[in-house]
Amino acid sequence: MKRTYFASDFHLGVDARLTSREREKQLVRWLEHIRGDAAAIYLLGDVFDFWFEYRTVVPKGFVRLLGKLAELRDQGIPIYFFTGNHDMWMFRYFEEELDIPIWRKPRLVDIGGKKFYLGHGDGLGPGDHGYKFIKRVFAHPWAQWLYARLHPNFALPFARYWSANSRASHGDADRLFLGEEQEWLIAYIREKMHEIPADYFVFGHRHLPIDFPLDAEGRRRYVNLGEWLYSNSYAVFDGENLRLEFFENEEGRVYP
């Protein structure tokens, strides 16, 4: 039976429970584990803790993951990449070198007769106006052009420092389910679900494995993919059901 896999928030480039290199090797093991029955793989952003493509230069490292993705694509497995807030400066490298399309906004996808609304999840829902403003600035071509004028020896360490501070500012909030009224992605979905005919709303960014029913029957659901800094969580769709699973983590927990 072929299955569709969804994962996000690897944050390669920063250490957590494992070092970045150990986590990269773990991700390669996961990709090898799912290779045999994968109909498609969707990566929903923040694969890297920071990424910026110069015209002829990309960040050092990650060759094990890039090589495995290339191998799977050469085998004919479709892979799709949604940019996140940490790797929003992804341009043409994945498309040209790995044949992996880059999507920058959420989109509705039909998989096996079910409708999936997929995206990273950053900048959605109420509040967080400061981040939404900064995202608009960073997404502007002039900001990208100016940043590209900086030498990589300065630009990349500076960006990684900024990224680490941004992640640390969330504190323990990423590890707690805030309740239906406080979860901003649930608020966003509640507002949009009447105009978006999705069975599943699947996002990353939240860093918490969440499976939340949106109606009394549980036919429509919000699923957050969690992260690989600690949880190693991902989602799998077998043609009938979508469920969250954990790789090399027997203590993984799905919220609420």
Give the CATH number, domain containing residue 134: 3.60.21.10
Asked if 232 contacts 252 with a C-beta cutoff of 8 angstroms, the reply is yes
- Tokens at 81, concatenated: 């990449």
End-to-end CA distance of the chain: 29
Q: Whole-model pTM?
A: 0.93
Asked if residue 251 belongs to a domain, the reply is no
Q: Please list the rounded mean pLDDT of every run of 10 residues in the chain (256 residues).
A: 97 96 98 98 96 88 97 98 92 96 97 98 76 70 81 77 63 75 93 96 97 92 98 98 97 96
Asked if residue 252 belongs to a domain, the reply is no
Q: For 13-62, what is each residue's pLDDT tens digit?
A: 999 999 999 999 999 999 999 999 999 999 999 999 999 888 888 889 99
Provide the domain limits for residue 128: 3-246
Q: For 219-240, what is each residue's pLDDT tens digit?
A: 999 999 999 999 999 999 999 9
Asked if residue 255 belongs to a domain, the reply is no
Structural domain total, the chain? 1
Asked if residue 174 belongs to a domain, the reply is yes
Asked if residue 115 belongs to a domain, the reply is yes
DSSP per residue, 189-206: HHHHTTTS--SEEEE-SS
Asked if residue 253 belongs to a domain, the reply is no
